[in-house]
Amino acid sequence: MLSDDVYTIELRGLTYRGRHGVFPEERRRGQAFRVDLRLVYEPGTLGDDLARAVDYARVERLAAAHLEGEPVNLLETLADRLAAALLEEFPPLLRVEVAVHKPEAPLEGTFDDVVVTRTRRRVVTAYLGLGSNLGDRRALLRQALRRLGSGPGLRLAAVSPLYETAPVGLEDQPPFLNAVAAVETTLFPSRLLVACKQAEAAAGRMPGVRWGPRPLDVDILLYGDLTLRSAHLEIPHPRLTERAFALRPLLDLAPDAALPGGQPLAPLLEGLRDQELRRVAGPEWAAPEPGIGPGAGPGAGGEEAP
């Protein structure tokens, strides 16, 4: 399920006159249509800045443009187009629910209303940094990919080459194997974080010294173009631009990757040349081992999150 820690904006009873319908008379004379909107986003994405906020007035104008605009035959089409337009217009929105009412529908019997509801979730490409320096490092990273590629609301899209890197922060520990995975997800950032922590726990990670040795580390590096600052999560990852072991495999997957706002990441890698980084395998390292089954490689996916 999605996180309960969300904000919702609801606009109810927006009423317009439109010419939607199958019958010529509906197109000729028009009729009243009403729409209810429920817009969902995660705390920490907006701040107190109207320029980044979901402006109610802009939402209303978009609804009016669709309900008063080009006629369509079906309420389903109208609701779907409005839902898609809201997600495109307002990047912070992660889910929208659009209910279109047609109280004057041409029915013979007595009725109160006809309503069609459409829910759309934004599908986001997120980049996850993976690392391990305890146990069978490569096997633990593959195990994490299997979990992250098959969970509800997650699909593993691509995996970077594998790098061996020197530890950062606490130097007296074994070297790490590091990679980056691209996932397509409908999970809110907070729920994606939960999935990452569950993968770490499944690998046997326990609370310990910060930056100390660990069987698995999974970090959200980027989540689409979203910027988020909350008590538990910061996106982009606050040290992404300082770590070659995250930037290099990320750029292998997405050479044009940029921070929210458009700053390219590739030039920043030039300033990290002093960080030890050794490529040990191409993306084929992530392929399932014999006998594991088909679920580990890129392209495996689970059903959409409820």
List the catalytic residue out of 95, 102, 137, 248.
102
SS3 track for 17-50:
EECCCCCHHHHHHCEEEEEEEEEEECCCCCCCCC
The answer to whether 102 is a known catalytic residue is yes
Cβ atoms 64, 24 nearer than 8 A: no
Q: What interhelical angle do 137-150 and 189-202 show, nearest 10?
A: 140
Q: Which residue, among 162, 176, 177, 169, has the nearest Cα to 253 in the 3D structure? A: 162
* CA–CA separation, 180 and 188 (whole Å): 19
On the 0-12 / 13-18 / 19+ scale of CB atoms within 10 A, 194 is: middle
Are 127 and 157 in contact, with CB atoms under 8 Å apart? Answer: no
Q: Read off the tokens for 230.
A: 């909350």
Q: Which residues are catalytic?
A: 102
